[in-house]
Amino acid sequence: MFLHQHPLDLPTLIASVASDDRGAIASFVGVVRDHHAGRTVLGLEYSAYGPMAEQRCAALVAQAETTWPVRVALAHRIGPLAVGDAAVAVVAAAAHRGPAFDACRWVIEAVKTEVPIWKRERYRDGSEAWVDPTAPAGVHPTGSAT
Amino acid sequence: MFLHQHPLDLPTLIASVASDDRGAIASFVGVVRDHHAGRTVLGLEYSAYGPMAEQRCAALVAQAETTWPVRVALAHRIGPLAVGDAAVAVVAAAAHRGPAFDACRWVIEAVKTEVPIWKRERYRDGSEAWVDPTAPAGVHPTGSAT
Amino acid sequence: MTTRTVLLFARYAELLGAASVEVEIAAGATIADLVAALRALPGGASLPANPVVAVAHAKADAATVIPEHAELALLPPLAGG
Amino acid sequence: MTTRTVLLFARYAELLGAASVEVEIAAGATIADLVAALRALPGGASLPANPVVAVAHAKADAATVIPEHAELALLPPLAGG
């Protein structure tokens, strides 16, 4: 439901939460960038603990929709991605822009800390590394080229 | 450039600011809602002081792009709109989500206070009114049915 | 005295029944003087006491002296976005 | 002692060379005990001292006693979004 093998489509996500009484639609799209931690990124692959990830995403959406008067759509790509591909998309629709922005921003932050998804980056020099936000360099030190 | 007679297209706006080194894309779309100030809205019409509106929009985008490391796209509909139509769209692309959200939110707030655009709403009871955010009821008291 | 054109929009255009009006103002007149002249026009009394005036596409204070060749416009409360 | 399956992901799966492993833990064992057992496996020494463990799809503290029938998983630092 939240994890997608196929490209994310923002208009579809927006349509899923838009309605005549919700005129403020805030959205966030995280796109694969061409560099990370000082290295040129060619592409990456997301892996997930599927059942827990789906369950956590559902819990985050439910929490946002009770914290703010919003409807939230969330989608995360898994599998191989190229630079420029959308990796995650969050849409929050509300009657007013304040709750829409606040909920949208809260959800993307929560996805990063709550949803069991991992990212292995491929670099131009042929090496690869697991992204590790807790590591100083942002990637796990011993990036192996397996 | 910023004012559009034709429907706004979010993907096009996003494409105009996305780039390989900007992985965080925050956007806001303001959609015509079916009610305002307690009355059912059938549609509305935006009018603008064209030259000043274009000039102010350009200035807002430039200010946002110097305040944060972002690229901003902004579009505002003018002319008649129906409920559900996108009236305004702001996209801010950055390397990181903080500046993207901050800039996006700043621009939409600034549009409302700086850009000479006006909104005449049509209600189900046949009456019409100029929206006036400074008026207690959010619309000018003496909505005439001209 | 010089004749100046003032552009009108939205509700103010309706009040004065036109998209622009001509008013006579003295040399060195301020925005406040301009507003007084506008309020003296037919329907002008319904204008608020301190409407926003744009001079060359920028909002101007009441005390601003009106430049000779700047475009003038009366702006109702904005309602964009 | 009971045999428990622990699901592995990303870097930890690489370290232990598998998508899941079996470990023996005593009845009433805690997450800390489970981690100790995992670190004793081939490649397990490279695991951090306090890796995040999910019990029935929720992160668990080191002191949590492991329920009998809950799915167990070892989670490397998350990197979604």
Which ipTM was obtained for this model? 0.93
Residue B84 has pLDDT above 60, yes or no: yes
Query: Where residue B137 falls among pLDDT bands split at 50, 70, 90?
Result: confident
Helix (H) or strand (E) holding A43: strand A39-48
Nearest residue on chain B to A108, judged by CA atoms? B97
Distance of CA A15 to CAs A5, A36, B142, Å? 20, 32, 36
Residue B45 has pLDDT above 60, yes or no: yes
Residue A144 has pLDDT above 80, yes or no: no
Nearest residue on chain B to A112, judged by CA atoms? B97
Query: Where residue A142 falls among pLDDT bands split at 50, 70, 90?
Result: low
D69 contacts chain A (CB < 8 A): no
B82 contacts chain A (CB < 8 A): no
The mean pLDDT value of chain C amounts to 97
The secondary structure of residue B22, as a DSSP letter, is B
- Cβ <8 Å between B24 and A28: yes
Q: What is the mean pLDDT of residues D15-41?
A: 97
- CB of B122 closer than 8 Å to CB of B35: no
Contacts of D57 in chain A (CB under 8 A): 51-52, 55-56
Query: Where residue A37 falls among pLDDT bands split at 50, 70, 90?
Result: confident
Task: Kindly state the tokens that stand for B40.
Answer: 């059912």
Residue B144 has pLDDT above 80, yes or no: no
The mean pLDDT value of chain B amounts to 94
- Cβ <8 Å between B100 and A28: yes
The mean pLDDT value of chain A amounts to 94
Rounded Cα–Cα distance for residues A96 and A26 (Å):
10
Nearest residue on chain A to D59, judged by CA atoms? A114
Residue A103 has pLDDT above 80, yes or no: yes
- Cβ <8 Å between B118 and C11: yes
Q: What percent of chain B has pLDDT over 70?
A: 97
Query: Where residue B37 falls among pLDDT bands split at 50, 70, 90?
Result: confident
Across the interface, of C71, C77, C78, the residue whose CB is closest to B115 is: C78
Query: Where residue B142 falls among pLDDT bands split at 50, 70, 90?
Result: low
C81 contacts chain B (CB < 8 A): yes
Residue A21 CB coordination number (10 Å): 11
Rounded Cα–Cα distance for residues A19 and A16 (Å):
9
Nearest residue on chain A to B42, judged by CA atoms? A20
Residue A146: the pLDDT is 40
- Cβ <8 Å between A46 and D14: no
Query: Where residue A137 falls among pLDDT bands split at 50, 70, 90?
Result: confident
Residue A111: the pLDDT is 98
- Cβ <8 Å between B100 and A14: no
- CB of B97 closer than 8 Å to CB of C66: no
User: Going by C-beta distance under 8 Å and a sequence separation of 6 or more, which residues neighbour residue A111?
Assistant: A57, A60, A74, A76, A88, A90, A117, D80, D81
pTM of the prediction?
0.94
Are β-strands B3-4 and B70-77 bridged in parallel, bridged antiparallel, or unpaired?
parallel
**DSSP for B75-126?**
EEE-EEEETT-EEEEEEEEESSHHHHHHHHHHHHHHHHHHS-EEEEEEETTS
Residue D72 has pLDDT above 50, yes or no: yes
Task: Kindly state the tokens that stand for B139.
Answer: 């619309």
Across the interface, of C14, C75, C77, the residue whose CB is closest to B49 is: C75
Alpha carbon A114 to chain centroid distance? 11
Residue B145 has pLDDT above 90, yes or no: no
Tell which residue, B36, B31, B48, has the closest CA to residue B123.
B36
Across the interface, of D9, D73, D81, the residue whose CB is closest to A30 is: D81
Alpha-carbon gap: B69 to the closest alpha carbon of chain A (Å): 15
Residue A141: the pLDDT is 72
